[in-house]
Amino acid sequence: MILKKLPILLAAGALLFACDKGKSSAEVEARKSFVDFSGMDSTVSPGDDFFSYMNGKWLKNTKIPDDQSGWGSFYTLYEENITKTKAVLEEAAASKASEGTLEQKIGDFYASGMDTVAIEKRGIEPIKKDLADIAAIKDYKGYLEYVSTNEQNHGGALFSFYVGTDDKNSSKNMVSFFQGGTGLPEKDYYTKKDPETQKIRDAYTKYISKLFVLSGTDEQSANQQAKDILAFETKLAASHKSPVELRDPIKNYHKYAVADLGKVYKMDWKTFLEKMLIKTDTVLVGQPEYYTAMGKLLETTPIETIKSVEKFALLNNTSSYLGKGFGDANFEYYGKALSGQKAPSARWKKLVNQTDGSLGELLGQLWVKKYFTPEAKARMLELVSNLKKVYRGRIEKLDWMSAETKAKALVKMDKIVQKIGYPDKWKNYDDVTISRDKYFENARAVGLHSYKEMVAKLQKPVDRSEWGMTPPTVNAYANPAFNEIVFPAGILQFPFFDNNADDAMNYGGIGMVIGHEMTHLFDDQGRQYDAEGNLKDWWQPSDAQKFKDKSQVVVSQYNGFKMFGNMNVNGELTLGENLADVGGLAIAYEAFKLTEQGKGDTKIEGLTPDQRFFMSMAQIWRIKNRDETMRVRLTTDPHSPELFRVNGPMSNFEPFYKAFNVTEKNKLFIPADKRAKVW
């Protein structure tokens, strides 16, 4: 399933996002103002740098908490939601609910993970059998036998796959294999020579070595195995496609009969798949080059190295469920080296996340009852409806698209499905037994359930009611295979949305997010899927070329954005998100102009309706990131840094120019004929 997501990386330390309960009357009153004037930097002209104009003082005065990789709107809302979720879990854990009830399962899962005394006492006992099974492997054929039959990690470290919608037949589920086997952010991290990349490679090998030592390996041997694993992954990474190359759905779609998979890598695929409980005669392979290279390496690499690779995968995958030493080692690499965090998150926060990730649709049922109102859902449906009408009208008026393509685009627009808040039907976890004193076994029981649920899809019709996120999630996504846009309850709160806010704030906040996700269904990837969610060329060739030409303007603009003096935004990697930002702003604004406030010119707090709309949009991207996080994002993340998520769309939008008197003397000014405009 392709999920295009907003980053969970955004800003508002000075904004008051938290619920009003327990706050002073002054804080509640401040919340009702909705615009945070204290975070603005009035020394910056809005026409030179609107992001800094709105957020500059906040950026200067805000300290990122030690346990965070950044701080701002998404982060603070996430912190609010995680605190709410903790309350739900603690209540469930204390309820002494009957065996098998959702309260018992989520409560005992959470409680078992919080029992650090029991976890430390067990040490590595939960994985001793797995370690012995890996040690017993004799050759690469034995390795294939192990990874195909290991129900705790089918496919092992090297065979990455999932079951989801067939891109070219959205009514059918398929198993899709894709490149994997590496632990650095992307392929270039194995070969780049700059100090920052070398520091991450060193931290990675140190992490591998530390896990081996914690599992009982002597330090000298652990260091050597870490070097062997890095050398193996370096060879494997050479076969990987880059993040930009992975964005092309056509070039990453290869259908094979199981009988023909020997052309990719010669082995008994039929038996291999059957042992993994995968019942199919056809599979998709996203990157066949990876499996060809992996197969050759598997046969020519010393088996002791292959075993080390698999042992590391086991230790890495289970580090969150073992003792403190494993958690600390995990933090040193993922938290500190990759994200720049100064300290690990509190134990309870990790357990809230793990419970949500493991039993999210049990937890979600209690969460939405407590924190998501019917009124909020109704207002959201109204917003979505208004934006769909506007988007439809914009397609009808396009001057660059032919009538033939336009008619099909309108059919697709009319068929967009919106999911708001939470699923209409909840997943079933009846086969999962959760014990209050067996955290590791609980995690594995959920993992086995998820695997069986996934492979069972191969024998069933596609379930379009399924969600890719849990209700408390502070995020949203578009799924072109379902032609849908999805907004979990977790994001439907201030600064994105507030039932008490004026329309300018809501349309500039969640309205822009809605427009962003709608535009994803028509971005450089999403536009290739038809109204039914099939990857199919439904465009007239001349229209497709015009779209590419218009998109290239966006690529060129964002390629020119620079950070750290020597790192540019990758306009090709971020194209889909940038198109969604530029389009989302325009659509949300036009929908806002249909409201009574949008039609008028009544000022609130000295601000015109249009000014409040644009200020709301800039506030939702109020984020401060650690340098380590941003360096990784610039090479791997399809989302542009928040600075450019504000200034980029604004500089291409004439109503912004009028609202803040932007002229050719300002830095954000782009001549009208050079501005990006697609949808």
For position 612, which CATH number holds? 3.40.390.10
**Residue 484 in contact with residue 416, Cβ under 8 Å?**
yes
Residue ranges of alpha helices (H) inside 421-508 are 439-456, 503-506
Structural domain of 389: 4-12+40-62+372-424+465-674
pLDDT, tens digit, for every residue of 250-285?
999 999 999 999 999 999 999 999 999 999 999 999
- Any idea what DSSP says for residue 17? -
**Do 314 and 381 share a structural domain?**
no
**Do 585 and 490 share a structural domain?**
yes
**Residue 225 in contact with residue 217, Cβ under 8 Å?**
yes
CA distance 333 to 208: 9
- Say whether 186 is catalytic: no
pLDDT for 470: 95
Q: Which residues contact 351 (CB under 8 A, 6 or more apart)?
A: 89, 110, 113, 114
Examine the fold and report which residue of 322, 349, 383 is the final residue of a domain before the chain moves on.
Answer: 322
**Do 191 and 46 share a structural domain?**
no
Lowest mean pLDDT among 19-23, 434-438, 479-483, 657-661: 19-23
CATH code of residue 305:
1.10.1380.10
Cβ neighbours, 10 Å, residue 126: 18
- The H or E element spanning position 538 is none
**Residue 361 in contact with residue 470, Cβ under 8 Å?**
yes
Q: In a 3-state reduction of DSSP, which class is residue 535?
A: strand
Report the half-sphere exposure of 211 (CA within 13 A, side-chain side). Answer: 30
Lookup result for tokens 């450019």: 644
Catalytic residue, chosen from 502, 517, 524, 543, is: 517
Q: Which amino acid is at 101?
A: T
How many residues would you count in the chain? Answer: 679
CA distance 66 to 59: 16
**Is 81 a member of any domain?**
no
**In this structure, what token pair is assigned to residue 81?**
């939601």
**Is 265 a member of any domain?**
yes
Q: What is the pTM of this model?
A: 0.92
CA distance 436 to 116: 12
**Residue 570 in contact with residue 244, Cβ under 8 Å?**
yes
**Is 459 a member of any domain?**
no
**Is 223 a member of any domain?**
yes
Res 664 pLDDT > 70: yes
**Do 400 and 265 share a structural domain?**
no
Q: Which residues contact 299 (CB under 8 A, 6 or more apart)?
A: 140
- Any idea what DSSP says for residue 635? H
- Say whether 430 is catalytic: no
pLDDT, tens digit, for every residue of 506-527?
999 999 999 999 999 999 999 9
pLDDT, tens digit, for every residue of 67-85?
999 999 999 999 999 999 9
CA distance 170 to 529: 10
Angle at 273 between CA 270 and CA 279, to 5 degrees: 90
Catalytic residue, chosen from 581, 590, 610, 642, is: 581
**373 band by pLDDT with thresholds 50, 70 and 90:** confident
Res 10 pLDDT > 50: no
Could you give the number of structural domains in the chain?
Answer: 2
